[in-house]
Amino acid sequence: MFKVIDGGITAPKGFKAAGVHAGLKKMKKDMALIVSDVPAVTAAAFTTNKVKAAPVLWDISVLAGGEAQAVVVNSGNANACTGVKGLEDAKETAGYAASKLGLRQDKVYVSSTGVIGVPLDMAKIKGGIDELIPALSSDGADAADAILTTDTFRKEAAAVADIGGVAVTIAGMAKGSGMIHPNMATMLSYITTDAMIDQKTLQELLGNTVEDTFNMISVDGDTSTNDSVIVLANGLAGNVKITESYGYEAFEEAFRFVLGELAKDIVKDGEGAGRFIEMTVLNALTKKDAKVLARSVVSSSLVKAAFFGSDANWGRILCAMGYSGADFEPSLVDLSFSSPAGELLVVKGGEPVKFDEDKAKKILLEKEVKVMADCHQGTESATAWGCDLTYDYVKINGDYRS
Amino acid sequence: MFKVIDGGITAPKGFKAAGVHAGLKKMKKDMALIVSDVPAVTAAAFTTNKVKAAPVLWDISVLAGGEAQAVVVNSGNANACTGVKGLEDAKETAGYAASKLGLRQDKVYVSSTGVIGVPLDMAKIKGGIDELIPALSSDGADAADAILTTDTFRKEAAAVADIGGVAVTIAGMAKGSGMIHPNMATMLSYITTDAMIDQKTLQELLGNTVEDTFNMISVDGDTSTNDSVIVLANGLAGNVKITESYGYEAFEEAFRFVLGELAKDIVKDGEGAGRFIEMTVLNALTKKDAKVLARSVVSSSLVKAAFFGSDANWGRILCAMGYSGADFEPSLVDLSFSSPAGELLVVKGGEPVKFDEDKAKKILLEKEVKVMADCHQGTESATAWGCDLTYDYVKINGDYRS
């Protein structure tokens, strides 16, 4: 049981944020700052890409300390493929913000997204930090706007959990995979909470939750060099410290909700996406099989193109399950589509069921469509989220950089 | 050393073929037959998809016998997701053709591609076989046409190898991954040769060659339920039997050429493809790393969309290498583009090189573009082939089935 509330990263006690236009982008806000009033326990998850942007390398060293108090984000320049200079710039960004905030450098995370292969304009970055600090407030909206790139809407979520009678707030903001002029899709997310929580417990919880949320979405299957999820837990709620054996389930439920909402918003705002697809696999042999199957379906270009055409193309879904590498028995699978317009069984025991094509079309014309595959083999389930493949995706990503 | 010749699957001695319109498709030829005058040693490779179409299951049993003499193909109905009835139909197709040809049923392969989940119209299949047999001739063109679906051109290749002074011919035909009304992309290929060759040697050669040719192409990353490569070697050239220790290299070279040409033709004719991309990885640590890196690049939607836009987007290429899972050191990579319009180094030691954008655009506007990534770590290399992601791909695959 948790309560959903409005608001973003400043909803938990003791967090301030700001977003400004520092001149890295032409017009839009392009730098954000999050600061906790007190040192916070931290957890984070970063891109698995071998090519890691400089700020990610810096952040890995911050995470190793287990404690952080601020995050500086710029959404104009990814500071990726920038060599030794890039690493120095990331470190200098943290150092500059730290000195202005009266913090230690290794308590400041740095995130970047945007053009790659171009050195950071450190004068603009420092100017941005100078502007951000006086702009810090208890309104998280400017920060949530400032991390966006080609996103079409702000992504925030917040919830309150009850930990032994104490209200603990968890909130987050994210930017989705919008094509960045001129480069790659990046997913950034920041989670704040006033929970008092054990660092190890928080890191483990984040790992598990990312697996079920951010790692179960697919826009185009490309994993960026800058993907980051950063959590700060400052303990100001005054709860008894959450550990694996105290308050964990209640906290986890709300935490999972916040990350899940942000993940789904990213897919809904996927580049050129016109339709949101929720793929659930039921009764698989193992949790891993369920996940691999669900993810394979939402990642298939053929499936995505079929959804663009509102085509009840169950064959492509079975096919994508088939090549996923997961263990399942095709001849046992039931497949159905559903949406606000109704529900329809299309495959029973691996073979097609005669269905009303008009009804199928009606169901698939809705903005949000659910697909359910029942493997009838085990008890494990998983859900993945994706979007259709549209002309606009090709247009956005095919546009010449200049 | 081998000689490239014109012609298709009837180029080797002792092979006849035919292609007819049996009524599975509205207008176009939809059934093909290949027959060897004498029993042939056979090798084959099939889809790794868990969901295997009925004819693939039948063909696996034919392959187990090590010898075959005919192949019946239909390109109107995939006979996939058709349950027990589908298996019986595949077997009956082989049996009917065998009885009319005076062969044993288990010497006849059956291939299908087309609509899935719909039972085969066996009357049309049998009628087609009745028409195919009298139409058998030493011209392979009709057969090569009859296996096509949305392919825009016939795919044939042939070469002659010198095996101890004896001319041995290898030829092949293929259909590419065209969207089949209404379903999935399927790759079918048939290779004939008059070589006398040991069965085990042939199967091993096929496995290795498929790895470097058909398995190194990507149109959209979806592996169909029907993908098959079938080889018949009838021994009529009269060469001394090829084994691992006799004549292998000379045969392999020509064999690899034929499969490579067919594989590249499939990509060039990929759905909606406007541009052919050849991605070569040099000096990787292992052969596997080189392959995984090359394949990851040609499979990336972001990379493919960039090529659609003739965008020298080296960041996406490095990024796709980075998430491939292969071992390499990003800071050592050099990256260059080339085409008939010139050559351009864009990344040196993992960092961007200033380049002339106009020259880059000129290079990338060509129909065939090469990308070279030098890992500077080992000595292994690999090449993968792909195509751009276009509006037409989305259109073709988003079209409603009916």
Q: What is the tens place of the pLDDT at every residue in A116-150?
A: 888 999 999 999 999 999 999 999 999 999 999 88
Q: Does residue A353 sit at the B interface (CB-CB below 8 Å)? A: no
Q: Peptide bond preceding A134: is omega within 30 degrees of 0, i.e. cis?
A: no
Return the amino acid letter for B159.
Answer: A
Mean confidence (pLDDT) of chain A: 92
Pairing of strands B228-233, B188-193: parallel
Residue-by-residue DSSP string for B296-345: HHHH-HHHHHHHHTT---HHHHHHHHHTS-----GGG-EEEEEETTEEEE
For A314, name the nearest residue in chain B, comparing CA atoms only.
B183
Q: How confident is the model at residue B64 (pLDDT cuts 50, 70, 90)?
A: very high
For A349, name the nearest residue in chain B, comparing CA atoms only.
B83
Euclidean distance between CA atoms B219 and B223, whole angstroms:
10
pLDDT of B114 above 50: yes
Crossing angle of helices B199-212 and B248-268, rounded to 10°: 40
What's the burial of B71, exposed, middle or buried (CB within 10 Å: 0-12/13-18/19+)? Answer: buried
Q: How confident is the model at residue A81 (pLDDT cuts 50, 70, 90)?
A: confident
The closest of B254, B255, B17 to B154, measured between CA atoms, is B17
Euclidean distance between CA atoms A118 and A81, whole angstroms:
8
pLDDT of A177 above 80: no
How confident is the model at residue B220, as a pLDDT? 64
For B304, name the nearest residue in chain A, comparing CA atoms only.
A398
Window 37-56 of B, Cβ < 8 Å to A: 47-52
Sorted by sequence, the CB contacts under 8 Å of residue B64 that are 6+ apart come out as none
Q: Is B186 a catalytic residue?
A: yes
User: CB of B387 within 8 A of CB of B264?
Assistant: no
User: CB of B92 within 8 A of CB of B113?
Assistant: no
Measured in angstroms, the CA of A24 and the nearest CA of chain B are apart by 19
Measured in angstroms, the CA of B179 and the nearest CA of chain A are apart by 9
Terminal C-alpha separation, chain A: 50
Which residue is catalytic, options A42, A113, A149, A186?
Answer: A186
Contact B184 A399 (CB under 8 A): no
How confident is the model at residue B217, as a pLDDT? 85
Buried b (16+ CB within 10 A) or exposed e, A174-206: bbbbbbbebbbbbbbbbbbbbbbbbbebbbebb
How confident is the model at residue B89, as a pLDDT? 98
Q: Does residue B112 sit at the A interface (CB-CB below 8 Å)? A: no
Which one has a higher pLDDT value, A319 or A222?
Answer: A319
How confident is the model at residue B184, as a pLDDT? 43
How confident is the model at residue B238, as a pLDDT? 97
Q: Which pair of structure tokens corresponds to residue A357?
A: 């094509």
Q: How confident is the model at residue B331 (pLDDT cuts 50, 70, 90)?
A: very high
Tell me which residue in A83, A323, A331 faces B351 most closely, judged by beta carbons.
A83
The per-residue pLDDT for range A243-264, each reduced to its tens digit, is: 999 999 999 999 999 999 999 9
Mean confidence (pLDDT) of chain B: 92
The per-residue pLDDT for range B178-231, each reduced to its tens digit, is: 543 334 457 899 999 999 999 999 999 999 999 999 888 876 666 778 889 999
Section B355-368 average pLDDT: 93
The closest of A119, A19, A8, A9 to A72, measured between CA atoms, is A19
CA A279 to chain centroid, in Å, comes to: 17
Integer Rg of chain B from CA: 22
| C-alpha torsion sign, points A125, A126, A132, A133 | positive
Sorted by sequence, the CB contacts under 8 Å of residue B88 that are 6+ apart come out as none
How confident is the model at residue B79, as a pLDDT? 93
Q: Which residues of B touch A399 (CB under 8 A)?
A: 309, 311
Q: Does residue A226 sit at the B interface (CB-CB below 8 Å)? A: no
Tell me which residue in B50, B222, B352 faces A302 most closely, judged by beta carbons.
B222
Return the amino acid letter for A196.
Answer: M
Q: Which residues of A touch B392 (CB under 8 A)?
A: none
Q: Peptide bond preceding A352: is omega within 30 degrees of 0, i.e. cis?
A: no
List phi, psi (to 5°) of B398. Answer: -95, -10
Section A31-38 average pLDDT: 98
For A357, name the nearest residue in chain B, comparing CA atoms only.
B402
Pairing of strands B334-339, B380-387: unpaired
Q: Which pair of structure tokens corresponds to residue B248?
A: 């292998």
Q: Which pair of structure tokens corresponds to residue A254?
A: 């709300």
Residue with tokens 């070569």: B280
> For chains A and B, what is the number of CB pairs under 8 angstroms?
211
Which one has a higher pLDDT value, A1 or A87?
Answer: A87
Window 278-307 of B, Cβ < 8 Å to A: 300-302, 305-306
Of A43-57, A365-379, B120-134, the one with minimum mean pLDDT is A43-57
pLDDT of B67 above 90: yes
Section A93-103 average pLDDT: 98
Euclidean distance between CA atoms B322 and A187, whole angstroms:
16
Contact A351 B117 (CB under 8 A): yes
The closest of A204, A133, A205, A219 to A174, measured between CA atoms, is A219
